[in-house]
Every structure is written in structure tokens, then in C-alpha cells.
Chains A and B, each alone.
With several copies, the nearest count.
Chain A
Amino acid sequence: MTEKNVVTAIRDALHDEMDNDERIVLLGEDVGARGGVFRISAGWMEEFGERRVIDTPLAESGIVGVAIGMALHGLLPIAEIQFADFIHPAFDQVVSEAARLRYRSNGDFGVPMVIRTPCGGGIHGALYHSQSIEAFYAHIPGLKVVMPSTPADAAGLLRSAIKDPDPVLFLEHKKTYRAIKGDVPDGAYLTPIGSADVKREGDDLTCVSYGYSLHTCLDAAARLSEDEGTSVEVVDVRTLAPLDVETIVASVRKTSKAMVVYEDNRTYGAGAEIASTIAEQALFDLDAPIVRIGGPDIPAMPFAGPLEHFFMEPEPDQIYARMRELART
């Protein structure tokens, strides 16, 4: 066990994997000399050589498209998109190519690749360095979408993503990078893709979340149990696609109350799938309507402090408040 923050956990896991497998190459904008804008690959161009740590031209569709080609010919590319907001030009390469190659070739051509990208807001990133993109990508059959919220999960899920025979979109919430610390087991353990995790046990209500919001929920849950002895179970989705329905539904069946919390724009966000799955499978177990909290339906987060704060928290301490309210109904 070693205490690390999320970005260090990711860096260490990535470094070990590159050390152990010559087939792995890293490609993206500024991943070389600059070591990435978050310094994850600092020094690696010297360590692993320019052929394994590739500074690409400024062209996201090309980055993903080239990575697909590499994956088709024996390499294990890890494509870094500098900010999730800039993955959109590569949407076609992800939807039409990476996610469809195995299917369209009837199983003949697999694309073992990982796309890593920092997402999420609350770091003064404004409209184009704050976006949540999981809802777009979780809806693509053939693509796995992972979003860890703790250092241990980040390392374990990243290793699983690299070993996965199919394309995996690996989402890293920027605000967890340094803010979230935790014990990380030593050794090359794997955290399975497709399994949610109960981060806090409880009986009075189930709160389902992921990414940075999960920590806001955990914090609210802790305060609520101190303040009023309410016991909230907090489920970390961890993998958006494929979604671990069993774990989520089992928790709701136990607590009979559900809330779903996510940072992304509320409407048609990932929380809609989670909430409606609960409604379909656990309707008669519910003692109260499902509470769904998502971000306002405005284009990502404005830059000015007051505006950004409004996005993250339209009402003061809203998650705590809604949790408390739901527990009481």
C-alpha cells in the first residue's frame, strides 16, 4: 500500500505497463518533450524513445485513426486526447471505426487500444476545458467507457483497459488528479471493467454517482450520518459501459430509495440510463421517486468564478440538501 493522488496512480501504472510490454506506444499532443500538459509522461520520451512516446500533429481524428491502425497491426496504442473537450473531431473514428471494426469484420479484426483523456470541470477550464463527454460515448456499442474516481481504481482500471482486447475510453476527471488521495495496493493488480463499487455502505438510501461528483456525494453522506445518523449507501459506477446493473439495482432494493448524481448536463445524461434502469427493475421497491441531479443544461462551464460555481452548485450544498430531503420522505 502506498498513498498516492489520482494523477500519480495513473502515471505509475502507465509507466509500469510500458516497461513491461514493448507493444505499448503512447501518442498524443505534447506527450513527448513536454511530458503531457499534466506531466504524466514527463521524461518518458528519453526513457522509452521517440518511437514509443509520439508527439503527434494537432489532429485528434488522426490521432485516433492512427492508433486504430497501430492496434490492427500488433501494437497496443494508448492515445491521449489532451482535453476531453477536444475529442469531438475524432468522434467518427471512434464511433464508425474503433467501435465497429470487430463487429463489421464478423470478429476478424480487433482494435485493442485505449483513449485516455482528462475531463470534467471545476478547475477554471471554461467552456472548452471542462466538458463531461461520457454520455456521448457510453451510447456506442463496441466501446467500453471507464471513469475511475479513486487512485486505486484508476491504476487497476487502467491496467485492465490496456489488457482489454477492445477499445476503451478512459476518462480521468481533472479535479480528482491532485485533490483525491488514497491508498494504492502495490503490484500490478487489475480492477475489472464492468463492475460498480459500493464505496460506502448504508441502509436508508442509495446514491449512485461517479467521477468527481462521487466525492461530493461521499462527503455529503458522511456529514449526513454525523448530523442526523442517516446511513447513505454510495455506489461508484466506475464503468459507464458496460453498466453494472446488478450492483446498482441490488443496492436500491436494499435501501428502497435512489438518487443519481452526475456533473454532466442533466438532460440525456448518463444518469438518465441509470435512473430509468432502476425504474424498470426496482420500481416496486421504491418508497420515493428517484432523485436525479445533473448539471444545468448549458454548454459546459463558464470561466468567471461566480458562473463556474453556479454550474457546480446551483443551490448551496445541494447534494447534501437533496439527500437529506430524500431520506426524510
Chain B
Amino acid sequence: MSTRVAETPHGALGLSADDLLAMYELLLTSRLLDEAALRQNRMGRAPFVVPAAGHEGCQIGTAWAMRRGSDIWLPYYRDLGVVLTAGMTPYEVFLGVFAKADDPSSGGRQMPAHWGSRRLSIISGSSPIATQVPHAAGIAYAVKYREEDAVVGCWFGDGATSEGDWHEGLNFSGIHRLPVIFVCENNQYAISVPQSKQMAVQDVASRAEGYGFPGVVVDGNDVLACYGAMKEAHERARAGDGPTLIECKTYRFLPHTSDDDDKSYRTREEVEEAKGKDPLVRFGDYLREHDVLDDAIHEELQASKKREIDDAIQAAWDAPDPDPDSALRHVFQEEGS
């Protein structure tokens, strides 16, 4: 028997203590932003917000395996944690929340949380569910065609898996063994429709076999498990081994959006039980166990993040609105652009 230092779970994944802290910072930022946006909504300053609370673990866990700069991101509206990992700032997020002219996603044209950024290779998303899935396949085809070292990440909810576009996009990706990763954030509801009325199976991942690539189920509250699955899928994609479907079992702590009331379709017990498995808390505990985090660090981090967010809100609020007749612009490419 050889004597070697027992490797930590994160060590086994090649993650350093700094990595863990950076990831924790993202989870915390996402959670604080979420709460702040909801407050803005309650204050009547933001007509519409989309909570991400509960999804941070699988969003940031999977997104962390992507590479800023080279990889391409197709998040869906709930993916605050994904776009933060991609490099979007709290200020940019609130430019969207307040629908300001400088909102990087759409200049205030779309509802908040309809993410997009040329700079960050976040492909502009729409409201219609699952339409981005064939886009991800097409982009991945172009990546392969141009022989680039890039991987396409495509996120969506359990509801999206019922759409024809989802089927057609995954099928095309499998046929051409494309460098794309499909991440299903399965929070067990499409707004109010429970999984049992969306599909007759336990695991969305079980559909991957029918498209000729692997499907993986992970605990969405386990950040490292999500990262591990995504890391492996990312390696497969780069190695030319084709797509992977990763299903993260997660839960939405809050209503679907600020317009929703979830009391009619979820018992409070169910919600409370889920909150007991909070990925932020769980990841924090893991960091503490491995002496990467302690109360002092946490407090300081939290305080500085809150300051940053308050400043972002103020600055975004003060930013200019879009000019009314700019509504006519960009239907087609403009001369000289």
C-alpha cells in the first residue's frame, strides 16, 4: 500500500482553495443580487424580476467548468448564476432590471433576465422556451466547422424538455457529435406544472440515450458534483466525443417570477424542506470543513458584496432610459454599422 495524502473532493477535481472561494463568492453574489432585485420590485422600482434562489449551486457549479473568452453561453432566464460566472457584473444586471439604455442584454427592450452580451459570448435569449437549444447545436456545428477550441453550454429547465425544439436540437447535436453541453436545471415544476404532468419518467437524463450520448443525473445542491459532471462533459466535448446531457436536481425557493404566486401549487412544507438543502449553505459548510472559509471571511465577503450591489443599484437607477424613438432602430442592420 502506497502512502499518499488523502485527496480532498475538490482536490480530486483540480480545484484550489482560491477556486472554492471564488465560486462561493459567486453563489453569495447571486443570492444577494436576487434578494436585492426582489426588494426593488417590492419598492415598485422594478416591474418584473425572475428569482434564481435555490438554483445557484447547479448554475455556478456547471458554469465554472466553462472558459470565459473561448466558450459560448446560452443561458435561460433563470440563470443569474450562470451569467455572473460568465462575467456579467451586478451593475449590468441592474441596468437590465431597470430597463436602461445601457442594459447589455437588450438596451431595455426585453424583460429583465433575458440575458445577452456580445462581449461575454452570451447569446441573446428570448422568452419562448427551448428555442435556444437548436441554436446551441448550430453554434456548436460552426465551432467544429471552423475547428475552434470552444465548447457551447446550453441551460434550460425541466419544462423546456417537452418542446419539439428541445428534441430536434439534441438529436442534431448527437448525429454530428457536436461540442455542446445541455444542462437541465430540473426544479420539478414548469411554473405550476409538476414533473409528473410533464413527463412519465423520473430523470430527464434518461432521454439522452435516445440521442446517442450520455445523460448524467447530479444533485443540483452539490456544487462540486455539478462542477465534476460539467468538467467531464467539457472534456468530452473538446475531445470530439460529442454532447452530454446533465440533469441537475434542484428547486426554486421563490415564486416563478415576481408576477407569480406559488401557494396554489406548492405546499409550504415542500418549499421549506427544499430550503433545508440550500446549496449556498451546503457549499459554505464544505468550505468551512476544509478551512477555506470562516465566519470572518464570510462576513467580510457579504458586507463588501452588499456594498457593491447597493452601489450598482444606485448607479443603474441613475443611468439614462432608452430614447423613445430608438424603438425604431436595429430591426435590420443599420447603414455603416
Contact = CB atoms under 8 A, between A and B. Distances in A.
- Chains A and B touch (C-beta atoms under 8 A apart): yes
A62 B134 contact: yes
Interface string B282-324: 0000000000000000000000000000000000000001111
Interface centre among A59, A74, A85, A128 (most CB of B within 10 A): A59
A108 interface: yes
Nearest to A296: B328
Contacts of A299: 331
B135 A68 contact: yes
Contact of B325 (A62, A100, A310): A310
Contacts of A189: none
Contacts of B100: 304
A306 B127 CA distance: 21
B159 A65 contact: no
A68 B135 CA distance: 6
B274 interface: no
A57 B126 contact: no
Interface string B94-127: 0000011001011111111010111000011011
B142 to A, nearest CB: 4
Contacts of A65: 131, 133-135, 137-138, 165, 168-169
A97 B130 CA distance: 11
B139 interface: yes
A188 interface: no
A303 B265 contact: no
Nearest to A43: B264
A311 B327 contact: yes
Interface string A45-77: 000000100011111011011111111111101
Contacts of A108: 116-118, 124
Given A66-B138, A102-B330, A110-B333, A124 B109 contact: no
Contact of A62 (B126, B127, B172, B197): B172
A97 B47 CA distance: 25
Interface stretch (B23-31, B185-193, B233-241): B185-193
A70 B139 contact: yes
A268 interface: no
Interface residues of A, number: 74
A105 B123 CA distance: 9
B268 interface: no
Contact of B199 (A30, A57, A74): A57
Contacts of A71: 138
Nearest to B173: A66
Contact of A97 (B99, B117, B135, B175): B135
- Counting chain A CB atoms within 10 Å of each CB, the highest count among B137, B138, B162, B164 belongs to B138
Given A65-B131, A69-B135, A302 B145 contact: no
Contact of A66 (B48, B103, B114, B141): B141
Interface stretch (A32-40, A222-230, A276-284): A32-40
Contacts, number: 262
B136 interface: yes
A2 interface: no
A287 interface: no
A289 interface: no
A303 B325 CA distance: 13
Interface string A100-122: 11111111111000000000000
B140 interface: yes
Contact of A298 (B143, B324, B327, B337): B327
A141 interface: yes
Contacts of A29: 190-191, 193
Contacts of B143: 73
A306 B322 contact: yes
A70 B327 contact: no
A312 B127 CA distance: 21
Nearest to B145: A51
Given A69-B142, A304-B108, A124 B47 contact: yes
Contact of A57 (B128, B136, B198, B264): B198
B223 interface: no
Contact of A89 (B126, B165, B191, B194): B165
A141 B110 CA distance: 16
B181 to A, nearest CB: 15
A310 B139 CA distance: 35
Interface in A90-149: 92-93, 96-97, 100-110, 124-129, 141-142, 144
Nearest to B180: A69
A307 interface: yes
Interface of B: 47-48, 72, 99-100, 103, 105-112, 114, 116-118, 123-124, 126-131, 133-143, 145-146, 159-160, 162-165, 168-169, 171-172, 175, 190-194, 197-199, 259, 264-265, 321-334, 337
The 8 closest A-B pairs by CB, nearest first: A69-B138, A65-B134, A62-B168, A128-B127, A34-B192, A106-B107, A304-B108, A57-B162
10 contacts: A61-B165, A62-B137, A65-B134, A65-B169, A66-B138, A67-B138, A69-B140, A89-B163, A107-B334, A142-B332
